[in-house]
A and B are shown apart, each in its own frame.
Chain A
Amino acid sequence: MKVEYKAVSDIAGPLLFVEGVSGVKYGELCSIILPDGEVRTGKVLEVHQDKAMIQVFEGTRGIDIPESTIVFHGKTIELPLSPDILGRVFDGLGKTIDGKPPILPDKRADINGSPINPYAREYPDEFIQTGISTIDGLNPLVRGQKLPFFSGSGLPHNRLAAQVARQARVLGTEEEFSVVFAAMGITFEEAEFFHSDFERTGALERVVMFLNLANDPTIERLSTPRAALTAAEYLAFDLEMHVLVILTDMTNYCEALREISAARKEVPGRRGYPGYLYTDLASVYERAGRIKNRKGSITLMPVLSMPEDDKTHPIPDLTGYITEGQIIFSRSLERKGVSPPIDVLPSLSRLKDKGIGEGKTREDHADLYNQLYAVYSKGKEAAELAVILGEAALTDIDKIYLKFVDAFEEEYVSQGEYENRSIEETLELGWKLLSMLPKRELKRVRDEFIDKYYSRYRKEASGEGGDLKNPIASDRLEKKETKKKER
């Protein structure tokens, strides 16, 4: 039963208050009809006796008190779904904006979804090869994981996200991921970059895009990731696809949330963000995963730019507490010319342990990354020391560590935007770098692996004067040189 009300009592920011209503449900959807016939969408945020507080997605500009009409729909925001959503472009509320006809739905789903029963979850343990050494080798991604990029403005997070979308494969299969892409408050250019990249690689027909660009209504940003994840759930759990969801940029989403919270005059938590930011973010991020006895999966890759590159800012902080790890971008590496500038030490993938090892990647993978981390971290300490005291004051072993850091950043972290390294290549590269160090320093690796992998490179290395003369490495260095010359 639809009832129309002409009873707007006041308007504050994106909020609209209606009086004298009855039967209004919390969370339900409504339309606001402006005097000129324009229709906007709103959602009930609170009902108190005969008053309702409504959040208007498209903003309140132009709404007037006496003439605007409110119609309550008695249901929550629903997304029309059918296999035809692939290849289409939607706005943040799920309306098509690519000029093609609207979706003829097979089903409609509430964009808020329901929490997955933890008992029904399947633990993510299928390794995804992204072809990027710092991810595959050190922070392996698995199907059903949520791994965010913590970046800063001006850093190439979008390029890396696009590279992952392009190269991601489950090892041993050629099956490609479907991609659900949600843009929140990013610029047209950034969105266009993804669009043209998908188009160029022929991926567009397995991509669904939800766009809420910088000039689109802010409040619509709150429904954008939810609509995207509802589409992803449909593709993954109804159509049995493997879906990679990219949400960029979550910082804008959180700011929209803060705006609503401030308009509601709520008690603010840290930095003005509402106290329920954690719960709200969790209701987005936790929709990733796998479910027992269902074939599909949702792998989530949110991108967020850390204000002032500060990891303790509430947005990255709370995200880090929900997601299963994080890939952190570093401005200083970017300045050094390391690309992608992934800061290896604070980056982490929590689900790596079950996704790697014998039968998945290779038996030595876990020991190898532990060792690489330990050595790199020690090398970084040595580098700090060298800054204060000068390199000459370092012990011999510390000097080797110092050399390792440079070689590691140059060969392992750095890699081309279109370079797709297999996991084998990544692992071998790791051993080759470790061979710079004497065996005694490698405490995190089992003896058998030292014998099997390390000794191959160590022999070569000592035979050639202890330096890094390995076919792969020198090859890459040459390439780099030529690139520099070309510039």
Chain B
Amino acid sequence: MKNGRIIRVSGPLIEACEMKGARMFDVVKVGEEHLLGEIIGLDRDKASIQVYEETEGIGVGEPVYLTGEPLSVTLGPGLIESIYDGIQRPLKIIQEEVGDFITRGVSANALDPEKKWEFIPEKKKGDRISGGDILGRVKETVLVEHRVMVPPGVEGVLKEIKKGKYTIKDTIAVIKSKNGKEEKIQMEQRWPVRKPRPIKRRLPPTEPLFTGQRIIDTFFPIARGGTACIPGPFGSGKTVMQHQLAKWTEAEIVVYIGCGERGNEMTDVLNEFPRLKDPKSGEPLMKRIVLLANTSNMPVAAREASIYTGITIAEYFRDMGYSIALMADSTSRWAEALREISGRLEEMPGEEGYPAYLGSNVAQFYERAGKVECIGEPDREGAISVIGAVSPPGGDLSDPVVQNTLRVVKVFWSLKAELAYARHFPAIDWLTSYSLYLDNIRDYFDREIAEDFIKLEQEAMRLLEEEAELQEMVRLVGIDAISSKERRILLVSRMLREDYLHQNAMHEIDTYTSMKKQYLMLKNIINFYHEAEEIDADIKSLENLDILTDIARMKYVEEEKKEKLVELYEAISKAISGVTAKREEEQ
């Protein structure tokens, strides 16, 4: 191991000289304490290094050791249910080793090297194999079957394959390559985080990724393999939204990155997810989750890396043929880490002090999402859907991070402070949000949900838009000055807002709504509107109908009892026909 010498220390940035042989983005160990760092700039024999740990106490003249390897993650069985920091150090092991506070220079294995996994081969001796082929299976958790793959780039004939209990470091197969060299394969593999894993080809996203959140699934759906962003000021419920998505999204595996956010929120995730049951299997949700926690007070450079660590882990599972949802909360903190490092490097700043390459870095990250055909045998498709929270200063959407993100993502869930103040959650603004996947996934809705679903959705959206205009008018001329047709629109759109879009994440039933139930709920509300419209129903009588209470309580109807909603459809028609009768009597 060659080494250099420190000549400058400024916060997380260190400069070292005598660094011949160093390569960009290689990992180095800094100082006597061997703090982990990464080379982010080279100038002759001088290297700029961002250090992933607190640098206090480091001085000029201390050594820097080259490792010759880029920042990489360890991949293999044992990832699921783990909680890592931004550079894949397991926080649980760190706590066991150094106690409740994270001190410097701790290192720990990302995956347990002692644990034995039952490996069941799927290939046999003599098979021709190449990178990406599935060699065999390991039952990682009740919910996840880990498919052990041939590392990309390896090719040859299988000379030996073992069955039975092995650790991730044991050889499970031996491959004889063309040039006669033998290569031993372990369950563990390493991959540099800043390099996307190879794929066969990319596919257009055509299926929706359901989340159980009504406003998202019905109005602004995200596709499997799509990208979405949630910008919003603080207190508008970004994090709750991310938690909800992590809990209920129909993905097989969830990678959750807490990037520069609150420590207590990560603890909440850690407490909550093992307790919550997966709606499909009834098993704890934690059994399909990988967590990365680099809270705001942890070193800033590791925060920058956490996004890449997370997406590399997601890509690894995608290559097995899984659908992965990746949540990053919040990408603004990641961008700020970039800005801080850039400032220390004395680079020319772009907008708001962010480096000029912010846009390309954001785009590169989101482009690692997508639905793909994986390399290797058997043929399989995998997908990564990325949902990034953005925390713009003051909720101002002209912030460079928001703007650069909007340029690449296809779904925009805009959180609005006013809605949050009125405790309308999720505080997604239905007038400004959008989803560009609607066209791609329309067929799916017609086929799998109901033929009239898209029609209902469009009608509901039209009502909501008309409401916004009418409200302006009411503000000017008063409620009595508008026609009863318009007042019916106000009544129904209020129903849509309060009884459909509003969804309580803390309520045991309301927290998740299946597509079938969403359809029935929406159909009932629109039916109410149509029936009332047809007979030109009197607004006062409509407002006093008892059935309104039943409509308001649709969301609390349990999934198993959703047939009740079908009955309600009839009841609504009946109740409204009662209204006309009343009106005629009056006349």
B92, closest chain A residue (CB): A119
Q: A28-B57, A118-B83, A267-B349 are in contact. Are A377 and B264 (CB under 8 A)?
A: no
Residue of A nearest to B94 (CB): A117
CB of B101 within 8 A of CB of A325, answer no
Q: Are B293 and A118 in contact (CB under 8 A)?
A: yes
Stretch of A98-106, A159-167, A280-288 on the interface side: A280-288
**Contact indicator B296/A282 (Cβ below 8 Å):** yes
B476 contacts partner chain A, Cβ-Cβ < 8 Å: yes
**Bound state CA distance, A124 and B552, in angstroms?**
33
Q: What residues of A have a CB within 8 angstroms of the CB of B478 in the complex? A: 389, 393-394
Instruction: Name the interface residues of B1-42: CB closer than 8 Å to any CB of A.
Output: 7-11, 15
A278 to B337, CA, bound (A): 10
| A360 contacts partner chain B, Cβ-Cβ < 8 Å | no
> Does any Cβ of B come within 8 Å of A326's Cβ?
yes
CA distance A354 to B271 in the complex (A): 11
Q: Which residue of B lies closest to A397 (CB)?
A: B543
Q: How large is the interface on B (under 10, 10 to 19, 20 to 34, 35 or more residues)?
A: 35 or more
Whether the Cβ atoms of B476 and A26 lie closer than 8 Å is: no
Contact B60–A50 (Cβ < 8 Å):
yes
Interface window among A5-13, A312-320, A409-417 = A312-320
Is B100 located at the chain interface by the 8 A CB criterion? yes
B149 at interface by CB-CB < 8 Å: no
Contact of B479 among A28, A119, A345, A395 (CB under 8 A): A395
Q: How far is the CB of B260 from chain A (nearest CB, A)?
A: 8
- Return the CB mask of B267-301 against A: 1 if under 8 Å, else 0: 11011000000000000000000000101111010
Nearest to B479 among chain A residues (CB) is A395
Binds A, one of B154-162, B167-175, B388-396, B443-451: B388-396
B235 touches A (CB below 8 Å): yes
Most buried by B among A124, A275, A350, A394: A275
CB-based contact A312/B396 at 8 Å:
yes
The answer on a CB contact under 8 Å between A26 and B422 is no
- Whether A27 is near chain B, meaning CB under 8 Å from some CB there, is yes
Minimum CB–CB distance from A137 to chain B (whole Å) comes to 14
B204 at the interface (CB under 8 A from A): no
Cα(A77)–Cα(B422), bound, Å: 46
From residue 28 to 62 of chain B, which have CB atoms closer than 8 A to chain A? 54-61
Most chain A Cβ neighbours within 10 Å, of B54, B92, B339, B421: B421
Complex partner residue of B297 from A120, A286, A370, CB under 8 angstroms: A286
Residue of A at shortest CB range from B392?
A: A317
Q: Is B57's CB under 8 angstroms from A27's CB?
A: yes
B368 CB-CB contact with A under 8 Å: no
List B381-400 residues whose CB lies under 8 Å from chain A. Answer: 391, 393-396
Q: Which residues of B contact A384 (CB under 8 A)?
A: 475
Mark out the residues of chain A between 242 and 285 whose CB falls within 8 Å of any chain B CB in the assembled complex. 266-270, 274-276, 278-279, 282-283, 285
Cα–Cα, bound, A237→B100 (Å):
10
Residues of B within 8 A of A322 (CB): 262, 296
Question: Cβ of A373: which chain B residues have Cβ within 8 Å of it?
Answer: 421-423
Known contacts A286-B296, A317-B394, A443-B499: does B9 contact A118 (CB below 8 Å)? no
Task: Determine which residue in B267, B293, B548 has the highest number of CB atoms from chain A within 10 A of its CB, and name it.
Answer: B267
**Which residue of chain B has its CB nearest to the CB of A389?**
B478
Select which of A117, A121, A278, A394 is within 8 A of B264 by beta carbon.
A121
Q: B270 to nearest A CB, angstroms?
A: 7
**Cβ-defined contact, B102 with A22, below 8 A:** no
A282-B296, A286-B296, A388-B475 known; A121 and B263 CB under 8 Å? yes
In contact, A278 and B336 (Cβ under 8 angstroms): yes
Give which listed residue, A50, A314, A440, A443, contacts B393 with CB less than 8 A. A314
**B297:A283 contact, CB within 8 angstroms:** yes
Does any Cβ of A come within 8 Å of B176's Cβ? no
Contact of A114 among B83, B102, B424, B548 (CB under 8 A): B102
Which residue of B102, B263, B340, B479 has the most chain A CB atoms within 10 A of its CB atom?
A: B263
Report yes or no: B60 in contact with A279, Cβ–Cβ below 8 A: no
User: Do residues A112 and B336 form an inter-chain contact, with CB atoms below 8 A?
Assistant: no
Instruction: List residues of chain A with CB within 8 A of the CB of B393.
Output: 270, 312, 314, 317-318
A219 CB-CB contact with B under 8 Å = no
B61 touches A320 (CB 8 A): no
A314 surroundings in chain B (CB, below 8 A):
393
Interface stretch among A41-49, A174-182, A205-213, A452-460?
A: A41-49
Instruction: State the CA gap A227–B377 with chains docked (Å).
Output: 60
- Asked whether any CB of chain B lies closer than 8 Å to the CB of A321, the reply is yes
CB neighbours (8 Å) of B92 from chain A are 119
Residue from B8, B61, B343 within 8 A of A267 (CB atoms): B343
- Any chain B CB within 8 A of the CB of A291? yes
Residue B266 is within 8 A (CB to CB) of chain A in the complex: yes
Q: Are B91 and A119 interface neighbours, CB within 8 A?
A: yes
Q: Are A22 and B60 in touch, CB under 8 angstroms?
A: yes
Are the CB atoms of B8 and A46 closer together than 8 Å? yes
Chain A contacts for B458, CB-based, 8 A:
none
**A116: CB under 8 A from chain B?**
yes
In Å, the complex CA distance between A378 and B502 comes to 15
Of B233, B352, B423, B556, the residue contacting A377 (CB under 8 A) is B423
List B494-551 residues whose CB lies under 8 Å from chain A: 498-499, 504, 506, 548-549
A294 at the A/B interface (Cβ < 8 Å)?
yes
Residues of A within 8 A of B474 (CB): 385
Q: A76-B56, A119-B83 are in contact. Are A286 and B61 (CB under 8 A)?
A: no
* Inter-chain contact B297/A275, CB cutoff 8 Å: no
Residues in chain B near residue A385, CB distance under 8 A: 474-475
Contact B421 A282 (CB under 8 A): no
Which B residues touch A346, using CB under 8 A? Answer: 235, 417, 421
| B95 in the interface (beta carbon within 8 A) | yes
A346 to chain B, nearest CB (A): 6
Q: CA–CA, A287 to B297, complex, Å? A: 8
A409 to B467, CA, bound (A): 30
Does A433 reach chain B (CB closer than 8 Å)? no
Q: Which residues of A contact B55 (CB under 8 A)?
A: 26-27
| Chain A residues closer than 8 Å to B421, beta-carbon distance | 345-346, 373, 377
Answer whether residue B146 sits at the interface, using C-beta atoms and an 8 A cutoff.
no
A321 near B391 with CB under 8 A, answer yes
Segment 368-394 of A: residues with Cβ below 8 Å from B = 370, 373-374, 377-378, 384-385, 388-389, 393-394
A443: chain B residues at CB < 8 Å are 498-499, 552
Asked if B59 and A24 make an inter-chain contact with CB atoms under 8 angstroms apart, the answer reads yes
Q: Which residues of B contact A237 (CB under 8 A)?
A: 100
- Which of A267, A318, A321, A440 makes the CB contact (< 8 A) with B353? A267
Q: Contact: A276 with B422, CB < 8 Å? A: no
Interface core residue of A113, A317, A374 (most chain B CB under 10 Å): A317
Selected A-B contacts with CB under 8 Å, 30 pairs: A23-B60, A24-B59, A26-B10, A48-B7, A48-B15, A48-B60, A49-B7, A49-B8, A49-B60, A115-B101, A116-B101, A116-B297, A118-B263, A119-B92, A119-B94, A119-B95, A237-B100, A267-B349, A267-B353, A275-B336, A279-B337, A282-B297, A286-B262, A289-B264, A311-B394, A320-B233, A324-B262, A348-B420, A395-B479, A444-B423
Q: A115-B101, A395-B479 are in contact. List 20 more A-B contacts (CB 8 A).
A: A23-B61, A27-B56, A48-B60, A116-B102, A116-B263, A123-B264, A266-B343, A267-B346, A267-B349, A270-B393, A276-B340, A276-B343, A279-B300, A279-B336, A312-B396, A317-B393, A322-B262, A395-B480, A398-B479, A444-B504
Which A residues have a C-beta under 8 Å from some C-beta of B? Answer: 22-28, 45-50, 76, 112-124, 144-145, 237, 266-270, 274-276, 278-279, 282-283, 285-287, 289, 291-292, 294, 311-314, 317-318, 320-322, 324-326, 345-346, 348, 350-351, 353-354, 366, 370, 373-374, 377-378, 384-385, 388-389, 393-395, 398, 440, 443-444, 446-447
6 interchain residue pairs of minimum CB distance: A312-B394, A282-B296, A27-B56, A286-B297, A393-B478, A377-B422
Binding site for A on B (CB under 8 A): 7-11, 15, 54-61, 83, 91-92, 94-95, 99-103, 233-235, 258, 260, 262-264, 266-268, 270-271, 293, 295-298, 300, 333, 336-337, 339-340, 343, 346, 349, 352-353, 391, 393-396, 417, 420-424, 474-480, 498-499, 504, 506, 548-549, 552-553, 556
